[in-house]
Amino acid sequence: MKYKKILAALLASQFIILAGGCEFSVGNSINGGSSVDTQQGSGEQTVWEEEQDNNIFKDRHYQTGFKLTNTASVPGPTYLGDLHYGGITDIPSRWILAQWCTKYLIQPTDIPKEEEGWYVWKNESKVVKVNTEEGAIYMECNASKEFDAPRVNMQDWPHLLIEQYTTARCPDLSKIDSLKLQMEFVIDKCEKKMTPEEYNAELHTAQFQINFTVSNQNKNSPGYGDCIWFGLQFFDDRFPFSQDSVSIDGGKDSATGLAMYGVSSKRFLKEPVYVGDYIEIDFDILPEIKKALQACREYDGVEVFRNTNLEDLKLTTMNIGWELPGTYDVASTIYKLNLVYDKSKK
């Protein structure tokens, strides 16, 4: 059965409002680096070695720091520089810290404080903490400092995300048997800073999720370059669970117009996520990507994947973190983040 172009507005908004991946600088690439890099800082020299394994994510302990985005992603993203741990480094950052559509930017010149094993950056609206020993990251964004009034239709909203390019480490999806997202995280706070009169559920929420771009990377395919957003929503202040959805990235001027496929959170969460819960996820997303391929082929809203097969596809980018279309003060800690594939035995 074909997906209809028009979904019920509130149901569709579960995924339409997210659009965080839609701020990713698709088509650009982070500067590469050798598999072994040398870092200098605080008078010490350490060696960081690229992981050689079946995990698509690089630098799972955030040792190389972050490339910092500017506030705008259109007409093309710009970067402020690299955020490191208080020293000069020649290591290219494997991660991006995205702060799209925010007033207050963490800057490359900001020196972190060290608090009980965590490197800490703070400004007027954000707190970012990184524990490079444990591979944990805390992200706090306070939209009450970002919005002067409740958001209106088509107005951009604050994002605080970590992002990575994944093409080089991702095999084509027909050559693997599984692709498991393994995560541990806590929603540390979620405080609505709007009155009942100001709040509109079709416009306002706080969302914590992961998004991927799934792209046809086969240059010999007639569908080469076709791309969708594929997302798993862990938390939305309006709903206990998200629903399966196919929609168009919209709701703001900087949206990409790409098709978006959202996976029902009932398939990877046993219970709704509440503030303070320690959540563990071990979920094979490969079957869901196969469903997304077929669903997007049949979707009337945009022509995509009509000439694309599974063997043409790779995950090309990812992002995870917060989007705040509403005035919320939020925080989360990610304690584990892996995306592990098993090679096909065929």
Mean pLDDT, the chain, integer = 85
| Predicted local distance difference test score (pLDDT) of residue 124 | 97
| Predicted local distance difference test score (pLDDT) of residue 267 | 97
Q: How far apart are CA 232 and CA 211, in angstroms?
A: 6
Instruction: Dump pLDDT digits (tens) for 11-57.
Output: 333 443 443 334 444 333 322 333 334 343 333 444 456 677 899 99
| CB neighbours of residue 346 within 10 Å | 6
Percent helix, strand and coil across the chain, each to the nearest 5: 10, 40, 50
Q: How far apart are CA 320 and CA 78, in angstroms?
A: 19
Per-residue burial over 211-247, b if 16 or more Cβ lie within 10 Å, else e, is: bbbbbbbbeebebeebbbbbbbbbbbbbbeebbbbbb
Instruction: Indicate the domain borders of the chain.
Output: 9-343
17 vs 285: which has the higher pLDDT: 285
As to burial, measured by CB atoms within 10 angstroms (0-12 exposed, 13-18 middle, 19+ buried), residue 84 is: buried
Q: To the nearest whole percent, how much of the chain has pLDDT over 70?
A: 81
C-alpha 192, offset from chain centre: 22
The torsion defined by the Cα of 141, 98, 322 and 168, in degrees rounded to 10, comes to -150
| Predicted local distance difference test score (pLDDT) of residue 218 | 97
Looking at domain 9-343, does it have CATH number 1.10.132?
no
Instruction: Dump pLDDT digits (tens) for 118-143.
Output: 999 999 999 999 999 999 999 999 99
Task: Tell me the β-bridge partners of 97.
Answer: 68, 162
Query: Distance of CA 312 to CAs 57, 170, 263, 344, Å?
Result: 20, 12, 21, 16
Q: Which residues contact 174 (CB under 8 A, 6 or more apart)?
A: 309, 310, 311, 313, 344
Least confident stretch, 62-76, 182-196, 320-334: 62-76
- Using pLDDT thresholds of 50, 70 and 90, give the confidence band for residue 251: low
As to burial, measured by CB atoms within 10 angstroms (0-12 exposed, 13-18 middle, 19+ buried), residue 144 is: middle
Structure-token match 């007033």, residue found: 103
| Predicted local distance difference test score (pLDDT) of residue 4 | 30
Structure-token match 């090309």, residue found: 316
Mean pLDDT of 327-336: 99
As to burial, measured by CB atoms within 10 angstroms (0-12 exposed, 13-18 middle, 19+ buried), residue 283 is: middle
Mean pLDDT of 61-80: 86
